Structure 1
Amino acid sequence: MGTEQICAGRTVIVTGAGRGIGRAHALAFAAEGARVVVNDIGTALDGASTGETPGEQVVAEIKALGGEAVANGDDVADWAGSRRLIRQAIDTFGGLDVLVNNAGFVRDRMLVNLGEDEWDAVIRVHLKGHFCTMRHAAEYWRGESKAGRHVDARIINTSSGAGLQGSVGQGNYGAAKAGIAGLTLTASAEFGRYGVTVNAIAPSARTRMTETVFAETMAAPEDGFDAMAPENVSPLVVWLGSTQSARVTGRMFEVEAGKVALGDGWRHGTPVDRGARWDPAELGPVVADLIAGSVAQEPVYGA
């Protein structure tokens, strides 16, 4: 493990940590001295159970490197299961400092072909899964704060460019990820009083969810820097989970390869004020002028 460990002694939950970006997060936190709860339900890309225990494998990797970790197999979108996850961290390690919401899967389909079950499943695991864990963690931190104990906690959520700019064939996933962006803003405003910051990332990396969509551009290089390695995303997440990030909250970070950027979301535009109710026939040139004077929209992925 490292020498200058910026998360030494902190207890961290990483959801969906058995593979991909979540696994990279768990290992990176452990390398920085954190005690890690590795949550993974062991599902296939579409959410079906595989019977595997990838979370336990990650725990074994951490322990082999001298770190502390335990596995958790609860469903983050289940109300009781997400409560058990938070409780396991507290009971095992004496508290909770960081919650990294990463768990998810995709059921990609064009909107005109998307089934109700495919919509519900993706919204459930991504958006409800984020809410459930945040809700139970925040309840714990609120109790600690009201009891007069110092809280310096972090939540790092996982959104996506699909949620920020849209993505053809991923209407359910994009809607869930956009919801996570909005949830992050609200939680950052509400949880600050308890000593909790809330931020989100929109990562680009090679994972099970992206390998078929970006197969040609995400191939690992034969040598040199692997720009699409999941491990490239984790350093920022670890920093956001450390005590050094206490003044950063309500932010969306785009992370890809060696690049880190702030994603600026919806902002109030400059209004045209008639001073009275508009007549519908008057609004055509008004809207045209507003669009002409605005910043060009980001293109939808896949459009």
Structure 2
Amino acid sequence: MVRRRSDAVPELPAGARLAVPVMAATGGSGRTTVARLLGAGLAASGSTVVLDLAPRLSSPWPALLAGRRAGGLAALPPGSPLSRSAVRRACAVDADADGTSWHILSDGQEWHAQPLALPENPAAWYQLAAIGGWQAVVADTVHPLAHDLLGARCAGETGRTRGWYDLPYAVPVLCAAATAQGMRILQQAVMVLHAEGLPLKRTVVALVSTGDGRPPVAVRAGAAMLTPRTAAVVQVPYDPHIRAHSLAAARLRSRTLQAAAQLTGAVLAAAHAAWGHPLPDAPRPAPVTPTVTAS
């Protein structure tokens, strides 16, 4: 992804930490694509990490990281103190053609290795990011946010979606396929978020197109309804390079680059609207044990 000077984004203060959980109510919503675009976009603002929360055999990230000699999550011993250098050594590094780079932390073990029991508590991932010292943290989540909220309410628990919202300086991004069905599922999820009292005004929506051409009428109407209720609604166009090469796509269409810049700008604008400009320093996270555990 090549960034032009006109696409410059404001820098994050050295002591700030912006949390950007990328969530969806269902699979096939373009969540991982949006997470990668945001990782690249926010890297121009400060040191950035993309956290892969998916189990290894269901995640596209390990294939991208193959051969990069990163220890990944398995290199972080459970129950042991972690240093910044150890956490960063476990990461793979991705970069734009212009040299802007960011970290990716995933489970890069061989397919037959013992699966890791990744923590569900968002605070554990936030603590890991704090140890790593990153200014922007993009989390590629896997839980279905609407079902998660309803299940948590019925069980009398906090739930992962609310846990991400409650993190310091968190701007969630909700993804949905730009189809009539995708919009219906998204609108239902937004209704649940509203019922639970979660702050839609610092929530960014990404509508990911599944093909060329103008979005369906239901998508355009839904986007118009969501725009005044959320921080921003961004259309992510169909890009054949992403479809063909997944996360490894390097030659992105100019429209995709523009959408990535809009996503990044919307996230930063929502953060500044909520907490001021520049962002305050991040608080020191409370201890969470364990950070990463092996089954």
Q: TM-score, with normalisation over the residues of structure 2? A: 0.45
Q: TM-score, with normalisation over the residues of structure 1? A: 0.44
